[in-house]
């Protein structure tokens, strides 16, 4: 409605200048016995309709911007003096405090509130989606004012730095890299984005800390941090400090939450072992033994240090879609038993291990691909693509890289290092399940383990025969050798047989190559780090091939340059073929064997033997189980002439023949495709199942348990062992929580240019390829051709009495029919079922992990 004047007076003439208008208004305010401040206060607080009508737009969308502008003008006026600035800051602080006090997360137990009880916490609490939802609700709904205040403080300067300021020619890499190095610490080209993420992460963390300190039942971030800091090794004193500043919950809360999660994990284990999802084939179980020491400082009767011999493992659920694509009748227990019963009558010919023509042609491609890899890595690069240079052998049987479904078992205080221990391990597995002994032993159960585990299970089965009860005769148990242990033990034996005489500097064995590359050669076969041993073998192998190639190219007296020589592809292909024909063929071996000195022969034989180890390692990483099987066949033959592999010389051929000749094709394919897994779900990042278990053992024993000493064994069993995967993910997520990208790096095993040139000088000076033989030259000990000797040994034993053929045949499984047993096992002693301790160097304990 229109506003009418309530005073009968005539306004003066309207001034034209602003200062005159202001003076006129001030005079009028003074005439009314008011000041400008009191007038504005009365105007804004007066409840009269006419005054309310005049200020109707001040707080609406139409006029709020003008109101804020007025407040800013008042701010500028007040802050003109020091006392005014202080009073204004106090005013704003008080107003901000009021806002912060009113914005708080809701009280109550989740999902109504933001309290997470350690007695009711679930694994989905730690999912990335759940974390994102909690963070988003905290900073957008519950505490947006504090979050914006904190982030604005950290965003004073968001101008991205120029590339010119960050570049430094002196810090540029010496060698070209095909792939850009990942920004691991947030100081790379994406530093601007990383800073923004860091600001957001810090802001939401501060909000969570403030909410927790104001009300300790707002504990989402804190209980997550408590579970993360516990396995990281944060001491209780440090944890107490972090709790005081609002970053974490108490250690007692963390242990309580872990116990709750442990009970949920045990329930999940029970369902998986019990096969509640009714899969056609039961989940596979992978086990390994490990020891723990519970240390007591102040000892007394009944209270002293104790060493526990335990067994740990995991359940591997086979992909349902993969199983459904195979013939179902070949996956049953009945089909397995029928095939195993006929094992005694299956004719096993030694040629089954030698490989077919296609396998031998594939081995030729393997050698050429390794030659091409070294040539293109260190010496040349093609100028054209007329002839493709293959650095990877053809694929034989590729496994899917989908992430495996794995559930860790509970640590069992029972060792699988004896027949009795294996029985206790089976009892421990059954105690974690919800099924009866009868149901467990009346289904096909595949067990993955090392050589000792498989041998002891077979020994226990032999002890219990004859027996018609499946619960006791173990006829439904199928054991498989772990791929990693097989690689490590056989590679260790091959390495030790090619190491050479380290006491003589004139010797050119494997130790000499290590020494020339600056790698310690006093203990090359380190049983505590088999990965390092494999890497050392690969470096020796590549260095030897590099020297062979330089001889073929006629540049053995020159140094390897960081600048690769450019050659046409047909010339490169010619060099590869010439190198193969000169150093890798059977005729090359025969020709080298005619020399008076076996120096060249030793180099060729070592290179060929090491090639099998390198190929097995690379094929495992790529997930090609077909290529792995080719190498296992080759090792099966080689092991017959290697005393250090007495047990593998029987068990490995048995497993190969079992998978290729005995089992139904569908079951064999399931087993083969389960031997390797891709834990991260990425291509070419496969590992053997027992290798993955060794990694988990490391996390449990050396990381969570501080090198395996001083822990409570019950807490280790009930709390840590079943939660290892969860705690692992929490630690990996720390980088994501800090606002950085969690990169997965692929480790490359390259030889530095300096080391390679040093090794090439050694090879030239020692004339390892007998280019310029001299009279009185050092003659090393001749190395055996283990592959040819293995073939000869198998053929001689087969032609003599057939015992070798019988020993290599997989053992039959007993079948009861109408009150009679049909065992089908030859009446011969099976020496491999007992660990041979006659020679400490060839005992299983010296090679097996």
Query: In the prediction, which pLDDT does 226 show?
Result: 93
Query: In the prediction, which pLDDT does 803 show?
Result: 58
Backbone angles phi, psi at 276, to 5 degrees: -65, -25
Pull the structure tokens for residue 690. Answer: 């027992």
In whole angstroms, give the CA distance from residue 295 to residue 412.
19
* DSSP letter, residue 717: I
Indicate left, alpha or beta for 548 from its phi (over 0: left) and psi (-120 to 50: alpha): alpha
- Higher-confidence residue of 529 and 671: namely 671
Helices 599-622 + 357-374 axis angle, to 10: 100
Query: In the prediction, which pLDDT does 627 show?
Result: 96
| Secondary structure of residue 63 in the 3-state scheme | coil
Pull the structure tokens for residue 420. Answer: 């009795």
Angle at 816 between CA 815 and CA 820, to 5 degrees: 125
Does the pLDDT of residue 786 top 80, yes or no?
yes
Backbone angles phi, psi at 291, to 5 degrees: -115, 145
The label of the residue with tokens 């606002």 reads 739
Pull the structure tokens for residue 580. Answer: 């193969």
Closest Cα partner for 633 from 363, 420, 442?
Answer: 363
Query: In the prediction, which pLDDT does 711 show?
Result: 65
pLDDT digits (tens, 9 = 90+) for 271-298: 899 887 778 889 999 999 888 777 777 7
Q: What's the start-to-end Cα distance of the chain, in Å?
A: 94
| Secondary structure of residue 141 in the 3-state scheme | helix
pLDDT digits (tens, 9 = 90+) for 709-759: 556 788 888 888 899 999 888 888 888 777 677 777 778 899 999 999 999
Backbone angles phi, psi at 725, to 5 degrees: -65, -40
| Secondary structure of residue 148 in the 3-state scheme | helix
In whole angstroms, give the CA distance from residue 80 to residue 34.
24
**Sign of the torsion angle spanned by Cα atoms 88, 94, 97, 103:** negative
In whole angstroms, give the CA distance from residue 730 to residue 726.
6
In whole angstroms, give the CA distance from residue 849 to residue 484.
10
Q: Which residues contact 466 (CB under 8 A, 6 or more apart)?
A: 473, 814, 821, 823
In whole angstroms, give the CA distance from residue 558 to residue 761.
9
pLDDT-derived band at 843 (thresholds 50, 70, 90) equals very low
380-382/565-567 β-pairing: parallel
pLDDT-derived band at 656 (thresholds 50, 70, 90) equals very high
Backbone angles phi, psi at 719, to 5 degrees: -110, -55
pLDDT digits (tens, 9 = 90+) for 223-239: 999 999 888 888 889 99
Mean pLDDT value across residues 156-163: 48
Pull the structure tokens for residue 387. Answer: 């002839």
Query: In the prediction, which pLDDT does 322 show?
Result: 93
Q: Considering the entire predicted model, what is its pTM? A: 0.84
Least confident interval from 59-68, 119-128, 403-412, 838-847? 838-847
| Secondary structure of residue 809 in the 3-state scheme | coil
Pull the structure tokens for residue 714. Answer: 């019950």
Does the pLDDT of residue 846 top 60, yes or no?
no
pLDDT-derived band at 344 (thresholds 50, 70, 90) equals confident
Query: In the prediction, which pLDDT does 274 show?
Result: 86
Evaluate whether 633 touches 829 at the Cβ level (below 8 Å). Answer: no
In whole angstroms, give the CA distance from residue 230 to residue 235.
8
The label of the residue with tokens 């409840």 reads 47
Q: Which residues contact 238 (CB under 8 A, 6 or more apart)?
A: none
Helices 625-638 + 599-622 axis angle, to 10: 150
According to DSSP, the residues that pair with 481 across neighbouring strands are: 449
pLDDT digits (tens, 9 = 90+) for 639-655: 999 988 989 999 999 99
- Provide the 10 A C-beta neighbour count for residue 171: 7
The label of the residue with tokens 């004139």 reads 506
In whole angstroms, give the CA distance from residue 760 to residue 559.
8
| Secondary structure of residue 491 in the 3-state scheme | helix
- Provide the 10 A C-beta neighbour count for residue 211: 25
Closest Cα partner for 40 from 4, 93, 77?
Answer: 77
In whole angstroms, give the CA distance from residue 134 to residue 219.
11
According to DSSP, the residues that pair with 448 across neighbouring strands are: 286, 480
- Provide the 10 A C-beta neighbour count for residue 366: 22
* DSSP letter, residue 832: G
Pull the structure tokens for residue 29. Answer: 């305010």
Does the pLDDT of residue 160 top 70, yes or no?
no
Evaluate whether 518 touches 759 at the Cβ level (below 8 Å). Answer: no
Does the pLDDT of residue 415 top 90, yes or no?
no
Alpha carbon separation from 446 to 244, 267, 427, 671, 675 (Å, rounded) = 50, 22, 16, 8, 11
Alpha carbon separation from 106 to 119, 120, 210, 809 (Å, rounded) = 20, 19, 14, 69
Closest Cα partner for 454 from 289, 309, 612, 613?
Answer: 289
Evaluate whether 642 touches 786 at the Cβ level (below 8 Å). Answer: yes
Helices 599-622 + 483-497 axis angle, to 10: 170
Does the pLDDT of residue 559 top 60, yes or no?
yes
- Provide the 10 A C-beta neighbour count for residue 447: 22
Closest Cα partner for 705 from 687, 686, 720?
Answer: 720
Pull the structure tokens for residue 728. Answer: 């692992």
In whole angstroms, give the CA distance from residue 190 to residue 196.
10
In whole angstroms, give the CA distance from residue 530 to residue 526.
6
Closest Cα partner for 805 from 453, 485, 345, 437?
Answer: 345
Could you please report the per-residue DSSP string of 187-212? -STTHHHHHHHHHHHHHHHHHHHHHH
**Sign of the torsion angle spanned by Cα atoms 690, 691, 694, 696:** negative
Closest Cα partner for 660 from 337, 281, 352?
Answer: 352
According to DSSP, the residues that pair with 445 across neighbouring strands are: 477
Evaluate whether 455 touches 289 at the Cβ level (below 8 Å). Answer: no
pLDDT digits (tens, 9 = 90+) for 501-516: 888 888 889 999 999 9
Determine what percent of the chain falls in helix, strand and coil, rounding each to the nearest 5. Answer: 55, 5, 35
Evaluate whether 107 touches 215 at the Cβ level (below 8 Å). Answer: yes
Query: In the prediction, which pLDDT does 525 show?
Result: 72
Q: Where are the domains of the chain?
A: 18-90, 351-395+502-645+757-792
């Amino acid at each position: 409605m229109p506003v009418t004047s309530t005073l009968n007076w005539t306004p003066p003439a309207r001034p034209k200048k602003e200062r005159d208008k202001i003076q006129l208004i001030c005079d009028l305010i003074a005439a009314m016995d008011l000041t400008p401040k009191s007038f504005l206060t009365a105007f804004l607080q007066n409840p009269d309709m006419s005054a309310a009508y005049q200020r109707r737009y001040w707080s609406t969308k139409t006029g709020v911007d003008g109101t804020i502008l007025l407040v800013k003008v008042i701010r500028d006026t007040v802050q003109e003096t020091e006392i005014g600035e202080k009073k204004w800051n106090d005013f704003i602080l008080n107003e901000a405090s009021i806002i912060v006090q009113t914005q708080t997360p809701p009280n109550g137990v989740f999902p109504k509130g933001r309290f997470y009880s350690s007695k009711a916490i679930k694994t989905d609490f730690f999912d990335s989606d759940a974390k994102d939802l909690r963070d988003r609700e905290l900073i957008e709904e519950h505490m947006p004012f504090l979050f914006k205040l904190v982030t604005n403080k950290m965003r004073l300067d968001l101008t991205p730095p120029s590339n010119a300021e960050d570049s430094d020619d002196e810090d540029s890499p010496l060698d070209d890299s095909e792939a850009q190095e990942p920004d691991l610490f947030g100081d790379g080209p994406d530093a601007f984005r990383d800073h923004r993420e860091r600001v957001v992460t810090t802001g939401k963390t501060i909000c969570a800390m403030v909410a927790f300190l104001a009300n300790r039942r707002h504990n989402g971030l804190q209980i997550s941090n408590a579970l993360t800091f516990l396995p990281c090794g944060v001491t209780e004193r440090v944890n107490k400090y972090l709790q005081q500043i609002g970053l974490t919950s108490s250690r007692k809360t963390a242990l309580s939450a872990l116990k709750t999660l442990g009970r949920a994990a045990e329930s999940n284990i029970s369902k998986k072992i019990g096969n509640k999802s009714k899969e056609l084939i039961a989940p596979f179980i992978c086990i390994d033994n490990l020891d723990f020491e519970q240390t007591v400082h102040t000892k007394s009767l009944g209270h002293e240090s104790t060493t526990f011999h335990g067994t740990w493992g995991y359940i591997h659920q086979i992909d349902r879609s993969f199983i459904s694509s195979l013939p179902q009748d070949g996956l049953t227990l009945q089909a397995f038993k029928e095939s195993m019963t006929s094992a005694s009558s299956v004719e096993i010919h030694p040629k089954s291990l030698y490989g077919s023509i296609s396998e031998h042609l594939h081995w030729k491609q393997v050698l050429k691909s390794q030659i091409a890899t070294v040539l293109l890595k260190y010496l040349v690069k093609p100028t054209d693509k007329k002839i493709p240079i293959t650095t990877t052998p053809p694929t034989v049987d590729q496994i899917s890289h989908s992430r495996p479904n794995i559930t860790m078992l509970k640590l069992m205080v029972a060792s699988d290092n004896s027949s009795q221990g294996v029985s206790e391990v089976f009892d421990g597995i059954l105690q974690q399940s919800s099924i009866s002994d009868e149901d467990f032993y009346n289904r096909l159960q595949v067990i993955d383990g090392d050589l000792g585990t498989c041998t002891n299970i077979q020994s226990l089965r032999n002890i219990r025969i004859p027996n018609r009860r499946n619960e006791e005769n173990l006829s439904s148990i199928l054991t498989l050798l772990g791929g990693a242990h097989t690689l490590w033990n056989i590679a260790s034996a091959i390495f030790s047989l090619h190491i050479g005489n380290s006491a003589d500097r004139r010797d050119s064995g494997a130790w000499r190559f290590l020494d020339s590359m600056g790698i310690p050669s006093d203990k090359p076969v380190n049983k505590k780090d088999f990965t390092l041993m494999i890497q050392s073998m690969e470096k020796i192998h590549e260095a030897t091939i590099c020297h062979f190639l330089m001889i073929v190219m006629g540049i053995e007296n020159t140094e390897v340059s960081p600048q690769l020589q450019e050659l046409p592809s047909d010339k490169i292909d010619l060099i590869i073929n010439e190198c193969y024909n000169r150093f890798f063929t059977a005729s090359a071996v025969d020709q080298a064997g005619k020399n008076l000195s076996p120096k060249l022969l030793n180099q060729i034989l070592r290179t060929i033997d090491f090639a099998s180890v390198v190929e097995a390692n690379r094929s495992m990483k790529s997930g090609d189980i077909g290529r792995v099987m080719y190498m296992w066949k080759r090792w099966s033959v080689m092991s017959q002439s290697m005393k250090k592999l007495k047990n593998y010389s029987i068990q490995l051929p048995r497993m190969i023949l079992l998978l290729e000749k005995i089992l139904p094709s569908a079951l064999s394919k399931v087993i083969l495709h389960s031997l390797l897994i891709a834990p991260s779900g990425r291509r070419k990042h496969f590992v053997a199942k027992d290798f993955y278990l060794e990694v988990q053992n490391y996390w449990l024993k050396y990381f969570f348990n501080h090198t395996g000493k001083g822990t409570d064994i019950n807490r280790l069993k009930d709390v840590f062992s079943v939660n290892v995967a969860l705690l692992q993910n929490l630690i990996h997520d720390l980088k994501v929580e800090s606002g950085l990208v969690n990169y997965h790096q692929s480790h490359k095993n390259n030889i530095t240019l300096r080391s390679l040139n040093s090794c090439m000088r050694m090879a030239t000076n020692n004339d390892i390829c007998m280019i310029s033989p001299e009279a009185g030259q050092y003659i090393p000990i001749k190395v055996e051709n283990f592959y040819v000797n293995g073939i000869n040994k198998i053929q001689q034993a087969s032609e003599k009495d057939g015992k070798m053929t019988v020993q290599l045949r997989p053992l039959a499984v007993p079948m009861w029919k109408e009150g009679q047993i049909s065992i089908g096992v030859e009446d011969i002693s099976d020496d491999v079922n007992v660990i041979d301790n006659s020679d400490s160097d060839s005992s299983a304990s010296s090679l097996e992990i």
